Chain A
Amino acid sequence: MNCIIIDDEETARAIIQQLCSQVDELDVIEEFPNAIQAIKFLNKNEIDLIFLDIHMPDFTGFDFIDTLKNPPNIVLTTSDKNFALEAFEYECIVDYLVKPITLPRFLKAIQKAQSSARTISHEPKNNLSADTASEKNELYINIDRRLIKISIPTINLIEAKGDYILIKTEEQNYTVHSTLKKIEEKLPDDLFLKVHRSYVINIKKIIDIEDNSVLIAKDVIPVSRSNRPELMKRLNML
């Protein structure tokens, strides 16, 4: 695999270079102290793998990925564990190495890169992957790098919690890094309704409605005044 290294720190580039030298299949074509130089290089050259530092001045690793139309496989190298969630939003990112990088951990990343089925698009994966699954009443959510299948009709409600959403189902609750807007797109309109800026509910699960709230399982969910008419319209009222 032809690869390049992008890192503003010379020490880090030298270490990755050394790690690469211990893998026969890896051929380091070039190394760059910043992403701008790498973009120019990539406009003219095709490579298989990039070792990319996230934390660089002016132009971060994520900014760099966003500029690439068809990013190759990327292994992120960072001294910061905090970007792991964001990293997982990109299909091209095959692994995430925290510095100082050890050889065994590096080899694992290379194995992942080798076995990774390359996906050309760098569209954010979105932690909620439905595709055709929504038609099958299934929704896959990404928790700790595991894709967990949820049966859509079993969802009681979804609550926004900052950068996360809490999905409450009949059996279990799940906290996922996503937004209400994103999950709404994956859910059938006839079953789900946003009743408040922080809540999407399954209208089939409503037990009762009182003034400006609905009861679903044991949860009392607020209904905003603007959403109440639509909710009432959806109910099969006598």
Chain B
Amino acid sequence: MNETPNLIYIKELAAGSDAFEQKITSIVKREFPEEQKEFLQNYESKSYAKAAENVHKLKHKIGMLGFEKGYQTAVDFEEGLKNNDTSLYPKFILILESIELFLKTL
């Protein structure tokens, strides 16, 4: 995986507003672990339809944090899960782990 998370999109949106930047990062820092945990629970219990819903939500954050290929992986993984295809799980989990680490640095 060549892509790494970044705040380019968020900084562009913020247009110099530190308050917005702080607000959005604090929401993401709160929401992401919850969504990640829910996804893992559903995935491990093979509730793939529910896991696809979780991926749907997570992919917005993946896109926000600058992943382009990663976003497409999430799109494909979501579709795959709807058909019980889990082949993209290893790729997807790497993206989540990379975001998890990145959020700890903020």
Contacts and interface: CB of A to CB of B under 8 A. Distances in A.
A9 B60 contact: yes
Contact of A79 (B12, B20, B56): B56
Given A22-B15, A100-B63, 13 more contacts: A11-B28, A11-B31, A11-B64, A14-B23, A14-B27, A15-B24, A55-B56, A79-B59, A99-B63, A99-B64, A100-B60, A100-B64, A102-B9
Interface in B23-57: 23-24, 27-28, 31, 53, 56-57
Contacts of A14: 20, 23-24, 27
Instruction: With a 10 A CB-CB cut-off, give which of B13, B14, B31, B56 has the most chain A CB atoms.
Output: B13
B60 A18 contact: no
A170 interface: no
B14 A99 contact: no
B25 to A, nearest CB: 10
Contacts of A39: none
Interface of A: 9-12, 14-15, 18-19, 22, 55, 57, 79-80, 99-100, 102-103
Nearest to B58: A79
Given A99-B60, A99-B63, A100-B63, A9 B12 contact: no
Interface residues of B, number: 20
A34 to B, nearest CB: 14
Interface in B68-101: none
A102 B63 CA distance: 11
Nearest to A13: B27
A173 B42 CA distance: 45
Nearest to A22: B15
19 contacts: A10-B27, A11-B61, A12-B60, A14-B23, A18-B17, A18-B20, A18-B24, A19-B13, A22-B15, A55-B56, A79-B56, A79-B57, A79-B59, A80-B56, A100-B60, A100-B63, A102-B12, A103-B12, A103-B13
B106 to A, nearest CB: 14
A12 B24 CA distance: 9
Contacts of A18: 13-14, 17, 20, 24
